[in-house]
Amino acid sequence: MTELWLIGIGTGAPGHVTLEGQAALREAKAVLIPRKGAGKEDLAHLRHAILRAAGAEARVIAFDMPVRDPDLPYQQRVAAWHDAIAERWGVALADVPEGPVALLVWGDPGLYDSTLRIAARLSPPPKVRVVPGITALQALTAAHAIPFNTVNGAVMVTTGRRLRDHGWPEAAETVVVMLDGDCSFRALEPEGLHIWWGGFLGMPEQVLDHGPLAEAGPRIVETRAAARERHGWIMDTYLLRKG
């Protein structure tokens, strides 16, 4: 089996692509591109623009993303979906014996992304190379020009679901929340917390807000709903800090 290269391309700004990422796209023999990306159709043209900017001449292999079975329980549904994606990748990889085959991954392939877990399902397992990318963590703190951590402080990177279920993690001064479709900061007692929020980070549609959670929270709920309505989807992240 050929090599599989997972290339982090950042959060949607063409400028987030690294020189290593561009070089890898030029060296790849084929690039696997989903015809639809989880409802984010706005992003499809960005992948092609990134390939052009890199001067990539790789063969583009488009594949249809399988559909998730709504009748399965959550864990099984995701597992079955990953199996189905892996099967489609396997077919494409077998078709490019001269490899390597590249995949463009939003953000970084390691951060709240399934790509590595899907690649691990392939049989025989391909040699996997990961090219690191700019994550939403850095895009968020850069957009607000704030530090990720307090001096010598700890940062918890977590999900909206966990924030709702477990509250503020005791050992952290800072919490960054990913994968939150539900403004889960509403589950926290806002007193003493500050929020920095960003949607469409790095893209022309970027929206930012920040302030004491008690004041900025309700504003962000509205801004998020309006932006989601306008674009049909939204990807957002936020950082919460004590004091």
CB of 59 to a second copy, least distance (A): 23
Nearer to a second copy, 21 or 199 (CB): 21
Q: How far is the CB of 228 from a second copy (least distance, A)?
A: 22
For a second copy, the closer of residues 150 and 219 by Cβ is 150
Q: Closest approach of Cβ 129 to a second copy, in Å? A: 7
Binding residues (CB under 8 A) for a second copy: these are 8, 10, 13-23, 53, 78, 108-113, 116-117, 128-135, 138-139, 141-143, 145-149, 151-152, 154-159, 161-162, 166, 169-172, 179
Q: What residues contact residue 28 under an 8 Å CB cut-off, 6+ apart?
A: 5, 56, 58, 100, 101, 102
CB of 179 to a second copy, least distance (A): 8
Write the CA distances from 83 to 49, 87, 113, 179, integer angstroms: 29, 6, 15, 22
Element (H, E) at 156: strand 155-159
Q: What is the largest CA-CA distance in the chain?
A: 59
Looking at beta carbons only, is 35 or 117 nearer to a second copy?
A: 117
**Spatial separation of the C-alpha atoms in residues 129 and 3, rounded to whole Å:** 8
Measured from the CB atom, is 1 or 78 closer to a second copy?
78
Alpha helices in 159-241 (DSSP H): 160-166, 213-231
Closest approach of a second copy to the CB of residue 157, in Å: 5
Q: Which is nearer to a second copy, 77 or 219 (CB)?
A: 77
Task: Closer to a second copy by CB, 204 or 230: give it.
Answer: 204
Q: Which residue has the tokens 């001067």?
A: 55
Contacts of 163-170 spanning 24+ positions with Cβ under 8 A: 163/187, 163/188
114: closest CA among 167, 55, 68?
68
What backbone phi and psi angles, to 5 degrees, belong to 206?
Answer: -45, 130
Residue number, 132 or 219, with CB nearest to a second copy: 132
Stated as kind and residue range, the H or E segment containing 92 is helix 74-94
Nearest distance, CB of residue 241 and a second copy, angstroms: 12
AA letter at 42: D
| Beta carbon of residue 218, minimum distance to a second copy (angstroms, whole number) | 26
